[in-house]
Structure 1
Amino acid sequence: MPRRIHVLPEKLANQIAAGEVVERPASVVKELVENALDAGATRVDVVVRNGGKTEIRVADDGHGMGREDALLAVDRHATSKIRSEQDLAAIRTLGFRGEALPSIASVSRMVLETAEREGHGTRVVVTAGQMAAVEECARRTGTTVSIRSLFFNVPARAKFLRTTAAENRAIGEVVTTQALAMPGIAFTLDSGARDVLTLPAASGVAERIGALWGNEAAEELLPVAHRAGRVAVSGLIQRPNAARPGGRRTYLFVNGRAFGDRTLVRAADRAYRTTIAPGNHPHLFLFLEVPDGEVDVNVHPAKAEVRFRDRIGVERAIEEGVRAALAGVESTPSIGARAPVEPPYPAWMPAAGTGAFMVRETPAPYGASPSSAGGGAPVEPAASTDPAPQMTLFVTGGSAAPGVDGEGNGRPAGAPADLFAGAAPVMWQIHNTYILAETRMGLVMVDQHSAHERVLYEEIVRGFDAGVGAESQRLLFPLTLRLSPAEYALVEQIRGVLERAGFEVEPFGGRSIIVHAVPNPHPYFDAERCLREMVAELTDGSPLVDSARTQHQRIALSMACKGAIKAGQKLDQREMAELFDRLFATELPYHDIHGRPTVIQLSLNELHRRFGRSG
């Protein structure tokens, strides 16, 4: 009986391998550029014609190869990058399998020209995987690989290629990704069109982004620098107020290697929750550094995916890093020139009095545990490592700025309020909706409802995270609410969480509930209206609550939205001052829970310009 199993010819085996490695012209460019970078190139030039279908040429000034290495380079599984199994666990080069060149050569006409420093140049010609010529050539140090007639011998693959414009876009994305990964390397891309991409060596990622998309795009970004355990996260993310619907730029790198991972992008998006409007998508340029052995890059034929040993830890590091970046820098819109990044109202400045709001002197950072239970209980103030930028922000009538004694020393948040009598800035309420305050740089305007939303949300979540219930007031005359069947079922399900939020409810026969106690976030709080609207929203859903991951977050979002002071509510000076104080003590003070701005700045220079002054 004849054998049914046989060994494939080498030419056919290479074509099969090429089907995984070489999907389209952009795949060829990716492999060749990675080889150039692994060779220590400081400049990489890419030329393509007809979307790479007729010609691809990648030239570099790397260390090049001698004759013997040039011949081995077109053999399968011949590589200079790994030598043992142990090397697979600590791969730091972009390529490592030794499959790219032979796979590409098997489906094209390839010419490789290379030379080492102070060595003779070598030209290797391979057609459809067969060696056609080997000869000396004149060549400076480095390597040039020319690919012509891609898939000429595999017409079934060639007919699946897309239009020239589409292939050019894919090639441009490959070069862009590698240029972001290696900002210190110069790149050029000539696709035959009038526009040639020229990227000189840059000092960092921000400069490279400016060269790719313009300085305005770079100015919209915030730096990320965070370490969590064995994972370091750095890079740049877009300011919340600059995020827009539609296409976004998301680039992920680990140990210098680009990869795709939607789950990690979602981790970054979670950090943006409540800072951007639903449907807006911020740009992300994130670089991960993990120890060797903590990431496996040998899991995808095209090396487009990686596998982390501690995936949950990586997700946590990204979410924490993005959230820390958003919390640390001002991202509010401004009219005219952008004001400095420090908060327009000092978080450490005590309120002018107890006011109508429950006094909370500098709440702890979002996510930290309060020192004791209750919405009105004081907590330890967050330590300020450098209060100096805030000391002179507000214009005051006295010789010393708020919170500064005669020697310029800042006072802690727990200092008596009357110590700074007369030092607080004057505030005005406009249409009982917006609060206006004078700063040394101009004016700030705060939306009182949006600001209070942010304050309430972070306080409620902080209480949930710490396992501490909100303070509530017993009602002399309990409320009775009749609900729909769906609403009644929901309240039964979340009674425990509602109680921790300050609402003490129990069934009262039929589809009715009785409310014995309610929270008191401010004196104008309408508990019955808030609870009814919360239950309706949680039952029916909304873009706001549907964005939450947990029931606790859903309730916190809904309660903050429904329970915050409303537009049209008159506030006195003490109430406005305390709202400022509490807002700028939150982690993300510049956006409400819907992603809308809470603060808008008007610079003094802009005022001068509008009034025709020289400034």
Structure 2
Amino acid sequence: MPIRRLPEHLVNRIAAGEVVERPASALKELVENAVDAGATRITVRLSSGGIDRVEVIDDGCGMSAEEMALALERHATSKLPDDDIEGVETLGFRGEALPSIASVSRLTLESRVRGAEGWSRIVDNGDLEEEGPAALPPGTRVLVENLFAKVPARRKFLRTPRSEYAAAADTIRRLAMARSDIGFTLEHDGRRNIAVQPGETRPERVAALTDRQLIENSVAVDYDRGTAKLEGVASLPTFNRGVADHQYLFVNGRPVKDRLLIGAVRGAYQDLLARDRHPVLALFLTVPAGEVDVNVHPAKTEVRFREPANIRGLIVGGLRHALDEAGFRSVQRPSAAALGNWQAEPVEGGVGQSSTAYPQGYSSEHPQPHQQGHPQGFQQRAAFFTPPPGSDQASVWDGAPEYQPAPEGKAEAAEAPVPDAATHPLGIARGQVSETYIVAEAEDGLVIVDQHAAHERLVLERMNRAVAEGGVASQGLLVPEVVDLDESACDALEERIGELAELGLELERFGPKAMLVRATPAMLGAGDTKGLVRDLADEIAAYDQHLSLKEKLDHVAATMACHGSVRAGRVLAVAEMNALLREMEVTPHSGQCNHGRPTWVKLGHGDIEKLFGRK
């Protein structure tokens, strides 16, 4: 077959296949044009997820009739005035969006320049249908109807209206985050789903488009490295999601989807979050135009960096610096579901009814007996509390019930004046519950600390500091301990003997299927040495091929810290509890354990008052 030129309509449809994959793709191109036109407000209306109708209205600079005709031709653009494609600063610049969309839909383009009359052009699947004057305010209105209606091979691959709308909403969400100075409105089938106002701060805009609670549970990112700058908002590790869909990256104001971000974020949070949890964040990267290529994808959703390793280091370093500044912060308030589990005993004649209310004349301050058997106090109480006739309790009281003394707490004698809770953010320890949780009184509420999770984080931070200062001190075992493992696990540990020694764990190969432990990290103290070595073997086997050396060491240190921390079920003295609280206040990341769970929560005075109906 001889070489021939393709007809214009076929060329346009091929170009449309590169630029317009679905309604969200067309919407992205149209909104980017509105942004580049200097709009301050952009309104988007969709029907059936954009399959039947996509309408974009802006108050930008508008176009004259001659410019509108040129805009519908391929490779015509106003965004490359000096033909410098490497230095492009606008969102769109290829000049293919409008003609490509018009070749696979019915497109109505209306625009008006300030001080002039408006004009309209209607193109149906590449053919000019009509044009003429139009009445509209300054700006541009683009209406796309029946996308792919005459291209059934493309239309049948579109998803359901609900899925197409989700993609379109994500597109608007990303563009609205990138430009907090522009107001965006999104309506779907007559219902307004997104409405943000111009002039919002960046944290306010990101929170409005992701989660309103993000403002209280996030840190600001502001980090420079050379000519590159990183800004944005990142959630605390304890404020996370089960999927990575709430992570957004912007390069020079352009929303992009890049695998570099996912890897860098995982590296920054790798010892702060469980592996199946993901933070919520929006990062805005500013780099010289010559250091990034924005022309590697027809839809401009991907970019290529000249020095990707430097960019990854910038993201990891910026996030770690911001999280270090957060100190012991975590998501402090208990969830609404947790508060809902508190049940208030109803009071007779009050808010509700109670089956355990005191009878008339009985005082809750009545002295309680504290000795076994049936002492006089017990007989007085039995005579005083008479169950109603015919109740199940009558048979019990008629006999000789076994007396159980009232529960009582044990208070330690104070050896020093009780500190002032107002001077400590995490308050002063008042006791321990279930040998697992420390209860402390702060100036603004009640603090509950998970002693194991908190101490696990503290031990990890101590190990990290020791490694940075030259190595973790080790403590030799009086009798070396033999740990039986399979051969592959022993091989993996043997390859890392030198790195483990830096963390204070001295191992030696002991036959084909065993390792000999000669010393353990001194800060861990006595513990389950065999369990520690087995867990380390599993960690190294699972992640050895995918992580950098530092990330491997961090995983190993986290596993060691978990084995060396205070376990749930251990009774702590009040002095130990307070020492733990004080160290948490000065230790970075102590608001969450190594797996991303919160180490402490605060029940504010207002929450406590609500539980008792005082508020």
TM-score w.r.t. the length of structure 2 is 0.77
Amino acid at match of 2:298: P
Residue 288 (structure 2) aligns with: 291
Residue 602 (structure 1) aligns with: 603
Residue 501 (structure 1) aligns with: 503
Residues 544/154 of structure 1: CA separation in 2 closer, same or farther (3 Å cut): closer
Query: Which aligned pairs between 1:180-191 and structure 2 lie closer than 5 A?
Result: 180-191=177-188
Alpha-carbon distance, 1:314 to partner: 1.6
Alpha-carbon distance, 1:511 to partner: 5.1
Amino acid at match of 1:331: S
Cα deviation code 1:31-81 (max 9, x no counterpart): 111111111111112223343333322221111112221221111111111
Alpha-carbon distance, 1:324 to partner: 2.8
Cα deviation code 1:528-550 (max 9, x no counterpart): x23x1122112344999789754
Amino acid at match of 1:159: K
Residue 61 (structure 1) aligns with: 59
Query: Which aligned pairs between 1:540-551 and structure 2 lie closer than 5 A?
Result: 540-541=538-539, 550-551=551-552
Residues 438/307 of structure 1: CA separation in 2 closer, same or farther (3 Å cut): same
Which of residues 462, 466, 474 is equivalent to 2:465?
462
Q: Distance in 2 between matches of 1:175 and 1:31?
A: 11
Which of residues 233, 236, 240 is equivalent to 2:233?
236
What percentage of aligned pairs have identical amino acids? 40
Count of residues paired in the alignment: 528
Q: Distance in 2 between matches of 1:495 and 1:187?
A: 57
Alpha-carbon distance, 1:98 to partner: 0.9
Residues 580/543 of structure 1: CA separation in 2 closer, same or farther (3 Å cut): farther
Residues 78/442 of structure 1: CA separation in 2 closer, same or farther (3 Å cut): same
Q: Distance in 2 between matches of 1:143 and 1:456?
A: 60
Does residue 222 (structure 1) correspond to residue 219 (structure 2)? The answer is yes
Amino acid at match of 1:16: I
Q: Distance in 1 between matches of 2:43 and 2:514?
A: 73
Q: Distance in 2 between matches of 1:54 and 1:154?
A: 14
The alignment partner of 2:523 has SS state of coil
Residue 383 (structure 2) aligns with: none
Amino acid at match of 1:562: H
Residue 518 (structure 1) aligns with: 520
Amino acid at match of 1:583: M
Alpha-carbon distance, 1:428 to partner: 4.0
Does residue 333 (structure 1) correspond to residue 324 (structure 2)? The answer is no
Residues 560/16 of structure 1: CA separation in 2 closer, same or farther (3 Å cut): same
CA contact (8 A) 1:251 1:284 kept: yes
Residues 222/138 of structure 1: CA separation in 2 closer, same or farther (3 Å cut): same
Alpha-carbon distance, 1:213 to partner: 5.3
Further displaced range: 603-612 or 453-462: 603-612
Residue 384 (structure 1) aligns with: none
CA contact (8 A) 1:538 1:545 kept: no
Which of residues 85, 95, 102 is equivalent to 2:99?
102
Cα deviation code 1:264-288 (max 9, x no counterpart): 1231132222333332222222211
Alpha-carbon distance, 1:212 to partner: 4.0
Q: CA RMSD in A?
A: 3.2
Residue 473 (structure 2) aligns with: 471
The alignment partner of 1:237 has SS state of strand
Alpha-carbon distance, 1:301 to partner: 0.7
Residues 582/221 of structure 1: CA separation in 2 closer, same or farther (3 Å cut): closer
Which of residues 291, 307, 310 is equivalent to 2:307?
310
Cα deviation code 1:357-395 (max 9, x no counterpart): xxxxxxxxxxxxxxxxxxxxxxxxxxxxxxxxxxxxxx9
Residues 500/160 of structure 1: CA separation in 2 closer, same or farther (3 Å cut): closer
Amino acid at match of 2:497: R
Q: Distance in 2 between matches of 1:396 and 1:334?
A: 30
Q: Distance in 2 between matches of 1:255 and 1:175?
A: 17
Which of residues 161, 164, 180 is equivalent to 2:161?
164
CA contact (8 A) 1:30 1:175 kept: yes
Q: Distance in 2 between matches of 1:400 and 1:163?
A: 57
The alignment partner of 1:502 has SS state of coil
CA contact (8 A) 1:237 1:284 kept: yes
Does residue 586 (structure 1) correspond to residue 587 (structure 2)? The answer is yes
Q: Distance in 1 between matches of 2:585 and 2:237?
A: 17
Amino acid at match of 1:591: Q
Alpha-carbon distance, 1:472 to partner: 2.3
Amino acid at match of 1:32: L
Residues 545/111 of structure 1: CA separation in 2 closer, same or farther (3 Å cut): closer
CA contact (8 A) 2:186 2:192 kept: no
Does residue 79 (structure 1) correspond to residue 77 (structure 2)? The answer is yes
Amino acid at match of 2:591: Y
The alignment partner of 1:438 has SS state of strand
Q: Distance in 1 between matches of 2:565 and 2:118?
A: 74
Residue 436 (structure 1) aligns with: 439
Residues 208/470 of structure 1: CA separation in 2 closer, same or farther (3 Å cut): closer
Residues 213/284 of structure 1: CA separation in 2 closer, same or farther (3 Å cut): closer
Residues 585/225 of structure 1: CA separation in 2 closer, same or farther (3 Å cut): same
Q: Distance in 1 between matches of 2:235 and 2:542?
A: 21
The alignment partner of 1:454 has SS state of helix
Alpha-carbon distance, 1:232 to partner: 1.8
Amino acid at match of 2:318: G
Amino acid at match of 1:63: C
Residues 558/17 of structure 1: CA separation in 2 closer, same or farther (3 Å cut): same
Residues 327/19 of structure 1: CA separation in 2 closer, same or farther (3 Å cut): same
Further displaced range: 449-458 or 218-227: 218-227
TM-score w.r.t. the length of structure 1 is 0.77
Greater Rg by CA: 2
The alignment partner of 1:455 has SS state of helix
Alpha-carbon distance, 1:12 to partner: 1.6
The alignment partner of 1:241 has SS state of coil
Q: Distance in 2 between matches of 1:102 and 1:510?
A: 69
Where structure 2 has 5 or more consecutive residues not aligned to the other structure, the ranges are 337-415
Q: Distance in 2 between matches of 1:57 and 1:80?
A: 22
Residues 396/185 of structure 1: CA separation in 2 closer, same or farther (3 Å cut): farther
CA contact (8 A) 1:545 1:557 kept: no
CA contact (8 A) 2:455 2:566 kept: yes
Q: Distance in 2 between matches of 1:510 and 1:18?
A: 62
The alignment partner of 1:11 has SS state of helix
Cα deviation code 1:284-305 (max 9, x no counterpart): 2221111221221111011111
Q: Distance in 1 between matches of 2:430 and 2:558?
A: 28
Residues 166/399 of structure 1: CA separation in 2 closer, same or farther (3 Å cut): closer
Residues 212/521 of structure 1: CA separation in 2 closer, same or farther (3 Å cut): closer
Which of residues 110, 126, 129 is equivalent to 1:129?
126
Does residue 489 (structure 1) correspond to residue 488 (structure 2)? The answer is no
Alpha-carbon distance, 1:506 to partner: 3.4
Further displaced range: 284-293 or 604-613: 604-613
The alignment partner of 1:58 has SS state of strand
Query: Which aligned pairs between 1:172-211 and structure 2 lie closer than 5 A?
Result: 172-195=169-192, 197-211=194-208
Which of residues 33, 36, 49 is equivalent to 2:34?
36
Cα deviation code 1:393-448 (max 9, x no counterpart): xx976899879xxxxxxxxxxxxxxxxxxxx9566444543333333223333323
Q: Distance in 2 between matches of 1:142 and 1:510?
A: 77
Alpha-carbon distance, 1:113 to partner: 1.5
Residues 503/269 of structure 1: CA separation in 2 closer, same or farther (3 Å cut): closer
Alpha-carbon distance, 1:319 to partner: 1.7
